[in-house]
Structure 1
């Protein structure tokens, strides 16, 4: 019988709720370090199933070591535990109570097991995050340089320092971009080639899709992929009223912006996307609404070429068929 263990993750500590009976847990706190986590893993009961929240970098070490030790683990969205706490009418929020809440969530909901990303994908995520920060810093410095340019009296030392920093970030951006391209080409050559065969999807977008989706490994439908990235409409219906509240925006905002920009290219060069855009515009849809529909079309095309292992064919006629499961 599975025994659900709830772990609330903080920067320096982990609150662990170990089951004593089906309704009681013993809660203790340990350090969020490799040594303490390995000791905890050795002390876990047989058939333990750990439940924790996704808390960015702080939870990755714990998840990584649990998966290495082949301990069943579920990583849930913090929104899920928050709404579960509201369902339980919880009025207390501490690390200890959150750990017990996660254990109870595991018992009642029995969430699916999490599959840890490969070391290559973990490195790719870090490099893409670093690249975004480099570009942000470069834009900030370039804006500052532009703001100083009309001043009647300019400090040469300031101008020189700004130019040196901008040049430094340009070099760093080029180096990190080359490393990302090398990693993707080396470890995901087929996916990269098939994704870039779609008109509108560049190498940058293809690399971002591979990184964000873990190589499309955990998705069984294009709709689930679009929801994960955050481009599906939010529909509110009650009685006679039905309101569409834009898109859900649940995923990576940087990837969403890249896909939105890609839709402008797709409506010019991608025949199915062009036909969809023109049809929606003729039906009276707003341009942005039609472009978001094109983004969804691009994601369906990306999902199809990766899942069915075929290059993009703009004249392809869809047929009903099953696709292989990546989790086997």
Structure 2
């Protein structure tokens, strides 16, 4: 049996101004500025078999991730939700930058065989991701403003001005999303997906963004990447409540949920919706099932390069999502 190559695990806690780095082989903790020159100098000091784990931030982890990958190191981007549960599981009570750096290195050491190294996304992915996330922030801000100011007549003019300005920002972002798809030659995918009942331009852009991020071998893998797969908690005769894993981009799930609401009112999907509501499922449950259906259809169209053809569906006693 071949001996396993020993590697050095490093955990990197990323902040806007600095990186807190824990190195497992020498139990050392260092801090460096989060700048490209400092990161490159630090990477040159690492052994060849080093592996780096970090938690994603808004955008501050991009430099260290890309530079470490370009230097030939395995980089693992650990989801914050998963890391938080791991922290609780091992009984760690403190959460500081040094503690998180040590936790990342420990997670990589113990769970590294089950992790997939990070690979650079296509340029269109990052552009679409940035635009969709920022649009979501603007939409949320607009909703907050309406809730806050709508009941005050004296601020009616100010609210109208805010809505106009944010509306212009939203339209500008949507135009840029369309341009990003065009520049990446992805408009054919967008047109193909938008033929599905309930899916509009933004949902199509989100699905395309997810599709180009990885080489998905099946629709199940695509659904899991979207965070629409189920967590199961059964024990003996007890069947626990199912819930979504909610991994990946929450904005895509929100857009798909809205698409499900729209699709549930169409002739094509109304029967699906009413059938499962009649079974006693809650509205949210059925909309999630419908969102998952729409995502699977979109995946099949993108994977096969085929055009959408609506088919008449009948819903009997058993229909799975």
What do the CA deviations read for 1:98-142 (whole angstroms, capped 9, x no partner)? 323322322332221012223332222222222223333444445
Task: Show the counterpart of 1:43.
Answer: 45
What does 1:64-143 align with in structure 2 at a 5 Å threshold? 64-90=66-92, 93-110=95-112, 111-143=115-147
Question: C-alpha displacement at 1:48, in angstroms?
Answer: 2.1
What are structure 1's unaligned runs of at least 5 residues? 318-328
Task: Show the counterpart of 1:169.
Answer: 166
Question: C-alpha displacement at 1:160, in angstroms?
Answer: 5.1
Separation in 1 of the partners of 2:143 and 2:221?
Answer: 34
Question: C-alpha displacement at 1:282, in angstroms?
Answer: 4.9
C-alpha contact 2:48 2:73 (8 A) present in aligned 1: no
Greater alpha carbon shift after TM alignment, 187-196 vs 159-168: 159-168
Task: Show the counterpart of 2:201.
Answer: 203
Separation in 2 of the partners of 1:29 and 1:46?
Answer: 21
C-alpha contact 2:125 2:213 (8 A) present in aligned 1: no
Task: Show the counterpart of 1:300.
Answer: 296
With over 3 angstroms needed to count, the CA separation of the structure-2 counterparts of 1:281 and 1:186, relative to structure 1, is same
With over 3 angstroms needed to count, the CA separation of the structure-2 counterparts of 1:19 and 1:289, relative to structure 1, is closer
C-alpha contact 1:216 1:303 (8 A) present in aligned 2: no
1:193 aligns with 2:191: yes
What are structure 2's unaligned runs of at least 5 residues? 314-321
Greater alpha carbon shift after TM alignment, 170-179 vs 84-93: 84-93
1:224 aligns with 2:215: no
What does 1:280-291 align with in structure 2 at a 5 Å threshold? 280-291=276-287
What do the CA deviations read for 1:245-300 (whole angstroms, capped 9, x no partner)? 444444444433322222233245474x4554354345443443333221111111
User: Normalization by structure 1: what TM-score?
Assistant: 0.79
Separation in 2 of the partners of 1:220 and 1:316?
Answer: 28
With over 3 angstroms needed to count, the CA separation of the structure-2 counterparts of 1:80 and 1:132, relative to structure 1, is closer
Q: Look up the SS of the partner of 2:100 in the other structure.
A: helix
Question: C-alpha displacement at 1:178, in angstroms?
Answer: 0.8
Separation in 1 of the partners of 2:95 and 2:143?
Answer: 40
C-alpha contact 1:6 1:103 (8 A) present in aligned 2: yes
Which residue of the other structure, out of 6, 9, 15, is the alignment partner of 2:11?
Answer: 6
Separation in 1 of the partners of 2:244 and 2:24?
Answer: 40
What number of residue pairs does the alignment pair up? Answer: 305
C-alpha contact 1:117 1:214 (8 A) present in aligned 2: no
Which residue of the other structure, out of 239, 246, 251, is the alignment partner of 1:242?
Answer: 239
With over 3 angstroms needed to count, the CA separation of the structure-2 counterparts of 1:183 and 1:11, relative to structure 1, is same
Separation in 2 of the partners of 1:71 and 1:316?
Answer: 52
1:15 aligns with 2:17: no
1:312 aligns with 2:308: yes
Q: Look up the SS of the partner of 1:50 in the other structure.
A: strand
Separation in 2 of the partners of 1:49 and 1:255?
Answer: 31
1:262 aligns with 2:259: yes
Task: Show the counterpart of 1:326.
Answer: none
Task: Show the counterpart of 2:319.
Answer: none
C-alpha contact 1:270 1:314 (8 A) present in aligned 2: no
